[in-house]
Structure 1
């Protein structure tokens, strides 16, 4: 049985616009982000969605609520799909993080999968957290189509998991705010159907994440 999962990045926040690293700091949507979330909901209204999950951080949860209103399904919180913990980088812009912690930033930008910042989380640890929950949701909803609202860093590792690419590989795909990404699973085999869709967003969307 084919299970289809629509992964949606949360709508825009002021910190996205400032290229400020949010991590697990609980930042809400800005006005543009709320409009994007509502647009994603309208786009998915006819997609036959049977279940809806969202990270419990405000920006993802509010996006999930907007989508839920449109598709008629209540969101369920999944703390396991929160953004990566960026430790000492959280609250800084990318430029500030590079200036204050040049060695750490080089490890981060170079996608060192063991680098865990200070009080943060490595790519390897995050990968296990995220993919474990993703596989659990796919198994729970065999043969269904579901929506999962997550974060840019979460989508980054999911794309690599589904395509079988290493965590260290430079990013070759988009992760726009409120972008729609369909993946599917059958008998443990995963496929990317579409990625980074923004046709539903009249004004486009930010992808402020480093490669």
Structure 2
């Protein structure tokens, strides 16, 4: 089992700024997102990161590259860490989606585990990402600190699964802001949440 697991969300993109569903669209970081990535790398520089595994989508991989450059850790890409697929909602704002799929959007916003048209459900995407994380952890050394760089929805879902949350009667985690991060450490057959949603915003770190 690893020493610790750091989950880092990518920096801001133009789709984030415009309130668009990104899904698996390969949108790069914008100028603010690149600044956030550098700030996150600086904030995590002393964490002893040995290995970084990133979603292969540009916004996550660019964020991971900044972290690798600052820490010297090895960097790999894994397509299983991609964001949830939102199908026909991809690239649209909530108001645009509400005009075409009002009932489905209302169900989504209420927390129903449903699939956007042509997409995957939260549970499906979480299962995909948590399986990838478990495989990454299983192949790591006992004293390694791993960083997984990915996307807001799937990192939340994966963390909830690792912690046994998100089920009926249990609590939920919030979605991290751009370049927010969480830290988990192992304990026997489970995980301990040490922090969640720590800010990597340049203004907060300066």
Shared fold per TM-score greater than 0.5 = yes
TM-score (norm 2): 0.91
Paired residues, number: 203
Q: Which residue of 1 aligns with 2:48?
A: 48
Q: Deviations over 1:21-69 (max 9, x none)?
A: 0000100000000011011111122211110111000000100011100
Q: Which residue of 2 aligns with 1:187?
A: 188
Q: Which moved more, 1:182-191 or 1:29-38?
A: 182-191
CA distance, structure 1, for counterparts of residue 172 and residue 164 of structure 2: 13
Q: Which moved more, 1:91-100 or 1:59-68?
A: 91-100
5+ residue gaps in structure 1?
206-211
The answer on 1:81 being equivalent to 2:81 is yes
CA distance, structure 2, for counterparts of residue 152 and residue 143 of structure 1: 27
5+ residue gaps in structure 2?
none
Instruction: Quote the offset at 1:170 in angstroms.
Output: 8.0
Q: Which moved more, 1:45-54 or 1:77-86?
A: 45-54
Please identify runs of 4+ aligned residues in structure 1 that moved more than 6 A.
none
CA distance, structure 2, for counterparts of residue 190 and residue 87 of structure 1: 32
Instruction: Quote the offset at 1:100 in angstroms.
Output: 1.7
Taking a change above 3 Å as real, the CA distance of residues 47 and 16 of structure 1, as seen in their structure-2 partners, is: same
Q: Which moved more, 1:99-108 or 1:163-172?
A: 163-172
Instruction: Quote the offset at 1:105 in angstroms.
Output: 0.5
CA distance, structure 2, for counterparts of residue 167 and residue 78 of structure 1: 27
CA distance, structure 2, for counterparts of residue 190 and residue 57 of structure 1: 27
Q: Deviations over 1:128-152 (max 9, x none)?
A: 1011111112222233111110101
The answer on 1:98 being equivalent to 2:132 is no
Q: Which residue of 2 aligns with 1:17?
A: 17
Instruction: Quote the offset at 1:160 in angstroms.
Output: 1.6
CA distance, structure 2, for counterparts of residue 173 and residue 33 of structure 1: 20
Q: Which residue of 2 aligns with 1:134?
A: 133
Secondary structure of 1:53's aligned partner: strand
TM-score (norm 1): 0.89
